[in-house]
Structure formats: structure tokens, C-alpha cells
């Protein structure tokens, strides 16, 4: 008999604490939100470990090879093969979002981003991104959109659409590289993103 009211009060207390907590969760302050990401990998590591290998899987899943015997078209055939290329496409699409996490270094100390005279060093790439972050974001979104074109083609099991989407993915890679990695290249393959 004595215990009941005590428990009751304890529950009320817990509910109030929970309520306060939930109220707090509804409005995470900006600092807390930024702290939620731990961008340990550099942009360069994301390119080499996630973006490049997964893009290769998507590109290599469809091909047209011209031999002396004629034209050979390769594309996923079984459900498993389509599911596998889809996994790589999803990974690639989400990797575009990883590029947008703030506080990520372009390259770790001592890592070289410039192996050709026209390619910028990490410090200059960082400056270029800071100067025109809107174009950098637009460029990552362009990649995301092109990859979703590929995902739609995969879901339709349509090799021609997947091939076209692959070209758009390549143009998205190139647009960002031309603007932020080798802006001094004289003849970019694709029109670079106009500065905004």
C-alpha cells in the first residue's frame, strides 16, 4: 500500500524526464547536428574507396564490344546480376551525399592529389570548394540524379537506358573534376559547371 504511490510518483517523474528529452530531440541545435557526422575519410579516400569502384561496376555491367565477328552486347541477365549492379548503384548514389558532409578534408596530410601539372593540390581544391560551395553541391546532386537514372533503368532491366545513364554519370564526374580538380585544363571534355 505504501509502495504504490511511490511507484506512481516515480513513473510520473520518468514520464516528465522522457517528455523533456523528447522536447529536446525535436529541436537539435545546429552544433549537435554537425557533431553527428564523423567525416574521418578524406574526399580523396571516398573517391578511391567508394565512388570509383562502384561507378566501375555500374559502367562495366553494360558494354558493346565490336569484334571481327560482329557486335557483342553484354548486360546483366539474371535477377541476381541485376540485383548486384543495383547494390553498386545505390552505394554510388549515397556516396554523393557523403561528399556534402562539412568538415571533411579533401586529402590527408602528405596525400598527393596532383599527379599532373593541371591538377590542383588539396589546399587549392579546398579553397575552390569553399569559394563556390553552391557549385560543388550542385555537382554532387548532378551525380546523384544521374545514378538514379541508372537505378530506374536497372529496375526496368533496360540495358540501353543503363548505358545512357552511365554516360550521364560520367559527365557528372567530369563536370566536378573540371571545376574543382583541374580547372586550368584547356580543353575540358564536357562543359564545366558555370560558376555561380
- Return the residues of window 125-164 that contact ligand HEC according to CB under 6 A: 125, 136, 139-140, 143
Among 8, 17, 34, 52, binds ligand HEC (CB under 6 A): 52
Quote the CA–CA distance of 162 and 55 in Å, as a whole number. 12
Quote the CA–CA distance of 92 and 82 in Å, as a whole number. 15
- Closest contact distance (angstroms) between CB of 181 and ligand HEC is 4
Phi first, then psi, for residue 88 (nearest 5°) are -70, -35
Residue 181 contacts ligand HEC per CB under 6 A: yes
* Under 8 Å between Cβ of 184 and 118: yes
Query: Angle at the Cα of 142 (from 186 to 193), degrees rounded to 5?
Result: 30
Decide whether 67 or 180 has the Cβ nearer to ligand HEC: 180
* Under 8 Å between Cβ of 65 and 74: yes
Angstrom CA distances, 93 to 86, 100, 137, 147, 153, stand at 10, 12, 14, 6, 14
Among 172, 178, 192, 193, binds ligand HEC (CB under 6 A): 172
- Closest contact distance (angstroms) between CB of 182 and ligand HEC is 8
- Contact pattern from residue 97 through residue 126 relative to ligand HEC, giving x for each residue in contact according to CB under 6 A and a dash for the rest: --x------x------x-----------x-
The count of chain residues that interact with ligand HEC, using the rule CB under 6 A, is 22
Decide whether 13 or 39 has the Cβ nearer to ligand HEC: 39
User: What count of residues does the chain have?
Assistant: 196
Of 20-28, 51-59, 150-158, 185-193: span binding ligand HEC (CB under 6 A) = 51-59
Decide whether 28 or 97 has the Cβ nearer to ligand HEC: 97
Amino acid at each position: 500500500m505504501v509502495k504504490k504511490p511511490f511507484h506512481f510518483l516515480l513513473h510520473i517523474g520518468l514520464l516528465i524526464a522522457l517528455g523533456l528529452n523528447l522536447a529536446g530531440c525535436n529541436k537539435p541545435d545546429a552544433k549537435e547536428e554537425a557533431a553527428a557526422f564523423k567525416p574521418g575519410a578524406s574526399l580523396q579516400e571516398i573517391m578511391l574507396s567508394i565512388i570509383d569502384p562502384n561507378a566501375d561496376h555500374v559502367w562495366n555491367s553494360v558494354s558493346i564490344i565490336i569484334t571481327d565477328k560482329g557486335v557483342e552486347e553484354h548486360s546483366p541477365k539474371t535477377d541476381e546480376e541485376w540485383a548486384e549492379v543495383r547494390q553498386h548503384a545505390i552505394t554510388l548514389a549515397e556516396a554523393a551525399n557523403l561528399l556534402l558532409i562539412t568538415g571533411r578534408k579533401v586529402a590527408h596530410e602528405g596525400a598527393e592529389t596532383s599527379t599532373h601539372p593541371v591538377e590542383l593540390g588539396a589546399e587549392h581544391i579546398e579553397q575552390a570548394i569553399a569559394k563556390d560551395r553552391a557549385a560543388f553541391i550542385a555537382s554532387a546532386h548532378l551525380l546523384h540524379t544521374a545514378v538514379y537514372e541508372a537505378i530506374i533503368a536497372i529496375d526496368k532491366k533496360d540495358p540501353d537506358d543503363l548505358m545512357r545513364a552511365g554516360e550521364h554519370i560520367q559527365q557528372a564526374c567530369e563536370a566536378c573534376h573540371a571545376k574543382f580538380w583541374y580547372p586550368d585544363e584547356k580543353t575540358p571534355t564536357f562543359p564545366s559547371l558555370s560558376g555561380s
